[in-house]
């Protein structure tokens, strides 16, 4: 019984990951400060650092294709501001 | 004249705005973000603050709240809407105004008096204004206005820039740009000129004993233009 419910739980779970990055021309002052600090710490071979966001979305949807489509929709409607950000759905498990 | 100020969880300039609007003759109502319907209004104001703790992106959650659908419909039907500070961020996140507000260039929370120059007086917010520069207060962490080059061209061509950061004489230059905004932009209008978003707080300049008078001029002018 316990094994069955664990299996059921596994079947009803899928995690979709999405990475959000700033578009090329958008100023990223935080990335600049992180770059500067790493530079001061001795990591002096860095060309540039751009800070982004990473989301893991645990969904009840079991069909991978549909799950990714839904995450895409979430990105467009809330998670991402397309004026300044790009997103990439990087996988599901 | 009836006005409505929307209160979101985390708004903190809503009561100041209420005081300012009432002082200059508006009958103001406070409207909760979870309501569906706007009361009958001649002006809707989205106040400053930190709606939803500025989570995800400033204004992003508030732009999806229940009342915003009514505000969007009201604005699209030609209703007058004004967003101050966080209200400006909510307006860009809801798509009512172009562009976005990024983290301040030098990563500081800025809280000080600044001067702004009025760029466009052909709208009911600034029509018949007898001054060109105003002293207003700013208090924000994400006020650096940004938009794509195409959008910038469009808002310039349509004369949508309402305010520039400047000095007291109206000189617009990098030295007087507090937060790194593109072209010193402090406030913009939509194409139809019925929606205004700006980072400075006019409601903090309504008492000469405490701050200044330029907010008083702004609100007096606003109610006159609405009549």
Whether residue B161 contacts residue B191, with contact meaning beta carbons closer than 8 Å, is answered with no
- Band (B84; pLDDT cuts 50, 70, 90): very high
Touching check for A84 and chain B: CB below 8 Å? Answer: yes
What are A22-44's pLDDT values in tens digits? 999 898 999 999 999 999 999 99
The whole-number pLDDT of residue A92 equals: 74
The whole-number pLDDT of residue B210 equals: 86
Touching check for A30 and chain B: CB below 8 Å? Answer: yes
- Facing residue for B60 by CB, picked from A25, A33, A78: A78
State mean pLDDT over B127-137.
95
Residues of B in contact with A25 (CB under 8 A): 148
Statement: residue A10 has pLDDT above 80: no
* Domains of chain A: residue spans and CATH: 13-92 (3.30.1280.10)
Please state, in angstroms and rounded to a whole number, the distance separating the CA atoms of residues A29 and A41: 18
What are B201-224's pLDDT values in tens digits? 999 999 999 899 999 999 999 999
The whole-number pLDDT of residue A1 equals: 52
Residues of A in contact with B54 (CB under 8 A): none
Residue whose structure tokens are 């989205």: B46
Statement: residue B33 has pLDDT above 70: yes
Percent of chain A with pLDDT over 90: 74
Statement: residue B49 has pLDDT above 80: yes
Which structure tokens are listed for A73? Answer: 């929709």
This complex has an ipTM of 0.82
DSSP code for B70: H
DSSP code for B97: S
B100, B150, B179: which to substitute to probe chain A, counting the most A Cβ within 10 Å?
Answer: B100
Listing from the earlier edge strand, what are the strands of the sheet with A14-22? Answer: A53-59, A14-22, A85-92
- Band (A13; pLDDT cuts 50, 70, 90): confident
Percent of chain B with pLDDT over 70: 100
The whole-number pLDDT of residue B133 equals: 97
Interchain proximity A27–B104, CB inside 8 Å: no
Whether residue B4 contacts residue B39, with contact meaning beta carbons closer than 8 Å, is answered with yes
The whole-number pLDDT of residue A25 equals: 87
Phi/psi at A79 (nearest 5 deg)?
Answer: -65, -30
What are A42-73's pLDDT values in tens digits? 999 999 999 999 999 999 999 999 999 999 99
The more confidently predicted of residues A91 and B108 is: B108
Name the fold adopted by B2-226: Rossmann fold (3.40.50)
State mean pLDDT over A18-23.
96
Chain A nearest C-alpha distance from B143 (Å): 13
Q: Count Cβ atoms within 10 A of the Cβ of residue A1 and give its class: 0-12 exposed, 13-18 middle, 19 or more buried.
A: exposed
Interchain proximity B100–A29, CB inside 8 Å: no
- Facing residue for B57 by CB, picked from A29, A30, A81: A81
Query: Which residues neighbour A51 within 8 Å (Cβ) at sequence distance 6 or greater?
Result: A22, A28, A30, A31, A34
The whole-number pLDDT of residue B20 equals: 97
B102, B177, B188: which to substitute to probe chain A, counting the most A Cβ within 10 Å?
Answer: B102
Select from B64, B45, B21, B74 the least CA-distant residue to B192. Answer: B74
Please state, in angstroms and rounded to a whole number, the distance separating the CA atoms of residues A49 and A40: 14
Look over chain B and give the mean of its residue pLDDT values, rounded to a whole number: 96
Residues of B in contact with A18 (CB under 8 A): none
The whole-number pLDDT of residue A6 equals: 52
State mean pLDDT over B168-175.
96
- Band (A3; pLDDT cuts 50, 70, 90): low
Nearest CA in chain A to B58: A81
């Amino acid at each position: 019984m316990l094994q069955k419910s664990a299996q059921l739980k596994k079947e009803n779970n899928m995690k979709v990951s999405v990475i959000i990055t700033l578009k090329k021309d958008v100023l990223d002052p935080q990335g600049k400060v992180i770059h500067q600090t790493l530079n001061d710490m001795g990591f002096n071979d860095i060309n540039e650092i751009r800070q982004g966001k990473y989301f893991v979305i645990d969904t009840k949807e079991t069909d991978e294709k549909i799950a990714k489509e839904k995450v895409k929709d979430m990105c467009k409607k809330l998670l991402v501001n397309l004026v300044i950000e790009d997103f990439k759905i990087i996988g599901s498990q | 004249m009836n006005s409505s100020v929307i209160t979101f969880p985390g708004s903190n300039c809503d009561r100041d705005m209420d005081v300012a609007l009432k002082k200059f003759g508006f009958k103001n109502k406070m409207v909760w973000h979870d309501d569906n319907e706007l009361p009958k209004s001649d002006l809707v104001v989205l106040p400053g603050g930190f709606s939803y703790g500025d989570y995800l992106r400033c204004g992003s959650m508030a732009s999806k709240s229940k009342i915003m659908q009514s505000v969007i419909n009201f604005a699209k039907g030609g209703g007058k809407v004004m967003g101050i500070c966080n209200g400006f961020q909510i307006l860009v996140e809801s798509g009512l105004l172009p562009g976005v507000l990024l983290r301040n260039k030098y990563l500081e929370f800025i809280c000080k008096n600044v001067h702004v120059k009025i760029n466009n007086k052909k709208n009911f917010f600034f029509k018949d204004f007898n001054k060109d520069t105003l002293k207003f207060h700013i208090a924000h962490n994400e006020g650096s206005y940004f938009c794509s080059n195409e959008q910038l061209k469009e808002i310039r061509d349509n004369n949508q820039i309402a305010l520039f950061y400047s000095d007291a004489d109206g000189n617009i230059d990098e030295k007087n740009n507090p937060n790194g905004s593109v072209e010193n932009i402090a406030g913009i209008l939509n194409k139809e000129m019925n929606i205004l978003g700006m980072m400075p707080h006019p409601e903090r300049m309504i008492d000469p004993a405490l701050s200044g008078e330029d907010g008083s001029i702004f609100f007096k002018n606003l109610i006159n233009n609405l009549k």
